[in-house]
Amino acid sequence: KQEVTQIPAALSVPEGENLVLNCSFTDSAIYNLQWFRQDPGKGLTSLLLIQSSQREQTSGRLNASLDKSSGRSTLYIAASQPGDSATYLCAVRSNDMRFGAGTRLTVKP
């Protein structure tokens, strides 16, 4: 059974810092990995999708990497802003789709 782990569970940084969120998974036989953002009590917003054959994807200040052989993905956020404060979830898609517990990010002005 696929296990997905995200560290750290929570992160607080001052505005403007670059930061990295980590996601690891136990079974490398995946279709893709997707990063989501979730604001409190709200739905999931898809940020980036990395196919199993890809190494990274970029969107604006966000860059996600994937090392399938080692079972790891990182989400890099450049020049963080208070509006980036949210919980970030990674989800791994194989036969089904499994989530990590998330990293709660706080960016302080």
Partner 1 sequence: EAQVTQNPRYLITVTGKKLTVTCSQNMNHEYMSWYRQDPGLGLRQIYYSMNVEVTDKGDVPEGYKVSRKEKRNFPLILESPSPNQTSLYFCASGEGSTEAFFGQGTRLTVV
Q: How far is the CB of 2 from partner 1 (least distance, A)?
A: 10
* Stretch near partner 1 under the rule CB under 8 A, chosen from 14-22, 59-67, 71-79, 88-96: 88-96
- Residue 76 and residue 22 in contact, taking contact as beta carbons nearer than 8 Å: no
Give bridge partners of residue 35 from the DSSP assignment: 48, 90
Applying CB under 8 A, among 13, 19, 27, 52 the residue interacting with partner 1 is 52
- Within 8 A by CB and 6+ apart from 18, the residues are 76, 77, 78, 79, 80
- Verify binding: residue 91, partner 1, rule CB under 8 A: yes
Q: Is 28 in the site for partner 1 (CB under 8 A)?
A: no
The site that binds partner 1 (CB under 8 A) totals a number of residues, namely 23
Q: Each residue of 8-33: b (16+ CB within 10 Å) or e?
A: eeebebeeeeebebebbbeeeebebb
Contact status: 101 vs partner 1 (CB under 8 A): yes
- Asked if 46 is part of the footprint of partner 1 (rule: CB under 8 A), the reply reads yes
Q: Is the distance from CB of 72 to CB of 24 less than 8 angstroms?
A: yes
Provide the binding-site residues for partner 1, judged by CB under 8 A. Answer: 31-32, 34, 36, 41-44, 46, 49, 51-52, 89, 91, 93, 95-102
